[in-house]
Amino acid sequence: MPYPTATPEKIQAFAEHGFVVVPDAVDTADLDHLQARCETIIEQKDKLALDWAWEAGTTVAEREFAILQSSPTLIWPTEFRSAPFRRWAVQFASALMGQDVEFWYDQFLAKPPVKGAKTFWHQDEAYWGRNLDDRGITCWMPFHDVSVENGCMQFIDGGHKDGMLLHKRPDNIQSDLLYCEPDATRRVAAPVRAGTVTFHHSKTPHMTGPNTTDRWRKVLTQHLRIAGSPGEGDHYPWKVTVSQESLSTEQIAAALSGTSEPGGA
Ligand SMILES: O=C(O)CCC(=O)C(=O)O
């Protein structure tokens, strides 16, 4: 049955390991509209997405979208607010964190066939700053079966208890992408089928490998925070903000004219 309740075992596993896998969590039929919107993002990626692995030395026009990064809820703000997968993720994450959490923002993260780049080891708090210290949790929801070969989640077991790790910027990347170097002997890969999701704590180091297959790897991350938390801020020294001249409100509105819902972005 989809949309399960968090059992005491799951809550305990999250506290101990910093992540959990929830099999058959989501009714995949509930993802149809989201997936259609995400296809639009891929088709109009120059206007509606960033390249999270934008290679150094290339112009905005030359981006490969080696990790396509966008936000369906930013573009279509009213469409997914009460989607079953959203309401369930908030409830389940609240149980895991032992406190009420609220939806913060989502990201469509897609890796193109063969060229899809690795998402380096990182902790989400490295991007968010100390404002979110132990206050964040992410629900990672693939649109199809995922394996190590196409970029399933990999976690550092218990890594949320190790404090913040030093993060750096990769030399060959000019986006805001960061990496850290956790103890990879504690790596746990989570290949899962469509409908299954993972949750991880905002201090859990995690990564996904390159997409070596001949099909896009597509997922939605839902970032949630303890209700009432501030937004990102009190940043670590490695944090940078990089403009790719896309995803401005004006460009989104122009790109969507004729396709956005009334009152949408
Ligand atoms: O899917 C990916 O490539 C990375 C996702 C991620 O880092 C996250 O959901 O926090």
CB-ligand 1 contact for 222 (6 Å cutoff): no
Q: Compute the distance between CA of residue 86 and CA of residue 14 in angstroms, rounded to an integer.
A: 20
Amino acid at site 174: Q
Q: Report how far ligand 1's centroid is from the alpha carbon of 244 (Å).
A: 20
- At residue 15 the predicted structure's pLDDT band, cuts being 50, 70 and 90, is very high
**Which of 215, 109, 118 lies closest to 170 in space, CA to CA?**
118
Q: Which of 71, 52, 51 lies closest to 63 in space, CA to CA? A: 51
Assess contact for 224 and 138: CB atoms under 8 A.
yes
Q: What are phi and psi of 70, to 5 degrees?
A: -150, -175
Q: What is the pLDDT of residues 219-264, one digit of tens each?
A: 999 999 999 999 999 999 999 888 776 555 555 555 555 444 333 3
pLDDT band for position 199 (50/70/90)? Answer: very high
Tell me the pLDDT band of 1, cut-offs 50, 70 and 90.
confident
CA distance linking residue 32 with residue 34, whole number of Å: 6
Q: Region 208-224: what's the mean pLDDT?
A: 98
State if pTM tops 0.95. no
Q: Which atom of ligand 1 is nearest to the CA of 67?
A: 3
> Would you say the CB of residue 52 lies under 6 angstroms from ligand 1?
no
Res 260: pLDDT:
40
Classify residue 185 by burial, with Cβ atoms within 10 Å: 0-12, 13-18, 19+.
exposed
How many Å separate Cα 125 from the centre of its chain?
13
- Which numbered atom of ligand 1 lies nearest the CA of 124? 10
Max Cα-Cα span within the chain = 51
Whether residue 219 has its Cβ less than 6 Å from ligand 1: yes
Instruction: Look up the CATH number of domain 8-256.
Output: 2.60.120.620
C-alpha to C-alpha distance for 232 and 177, rounded to whole angstroms: 16
